[in-house]
Amino acid sequence: MYEILITYREQLLYSLAVLIILMVIQFAMKKAANKVGKRSEINITRTRLMFKYINILILLIAAFLLAFAWGVGLTDLSLIFSSVFAVIGVALFAIWSILSNITSGIIMFFSFPYKIGDTIKIHDKDLPIEAEIEDIKAFHLHLRTAEGELITYPNNLILQKAVSLIATERRHDDGKESL
């Protein structure tokens, strides 16, 4: 065991440093997302969704840096990542709307002016909708009409259409109305 520690001392120290630095960056990013969520009165479930995106980003960066530390060459890493991204790119091109909705969900987390409980009107010439926002998910909004109909509306479309605020009903995470 001691021989292994001596032989791979540099790689182990580099790996430890990378993990500590990435944990600090992850903590800072989650803290910032949490602060934005609280300041903008964003539902905690949407903030947790951002935490998942942060975890995935940190995991990808860690995999790249640790592979580099343990002797995988830059050309090998570039070949692996380009192959993986080529496959992912083809898959995402085939289902581009999913990527578009996820990206829209991230944008909506930081700059969407409407909250859960607000009644909005979507100005669409083909299908105008007036409904209350029940939930904001990664891919779509859950809207409830006055007739009780549940509508799932894609995030990418909500950013492309004109939307009016009809009524505001601010709620906390426990569902109780705030004054």
Express each pLDDT in 15-30 by its tens digit: 999 999 999 999 999 9
Position 60 pLDDT exceeds 90: no
Measured distance CA(109)–CA(82) in Å, rounded: 30
**Structure tokens of 122?**
């979507």
By residue count, the chain amounts to 179
Question: 43 and 53 in contact (C-beta within 8 Å)?
Answer: no
Predicted confidence at residue 94, as pLDDT, reads: 65
DSSP-based three-state secondary structure for 70: coil
Express each pLDDT in 66-116 by its tens digit: 888 888 877 887 888 788 888 877 776 767 777 788 888 888 888 888 888
Question: 70 and 80 in contact (C-beta within 8 Å)?
Answer: no
Q: Is the dihedral of CA 15, 16, 22, 26 positive or negative?
A: positive
User: Starting at the edge strand that comes first in sequence, how are the strands of the sheet with 162-167 ordered?
Assistant: 150-154, 140-145, 129-136, 119-123, 162-167
Q: Closest Cα to residue 105, out of 56, 46, 51?
A: 46
Position 173 pLDDT exceeds 70: no
Sequence-distant contacts of 70-77: CB under 8 A, at least 24 apart: 70/11, 70/15, 71/11
Q: Closest Cα to residue 104, out of 132, 134, 140?
A: 140
Position 179 pLDDT exceeds 50: no
pTM exceeding the 0.85 threshold for the entire prediction? no
Write down the mean pLDDT value for the chain: 84
Position 174 pLDDT exceeds 50: no
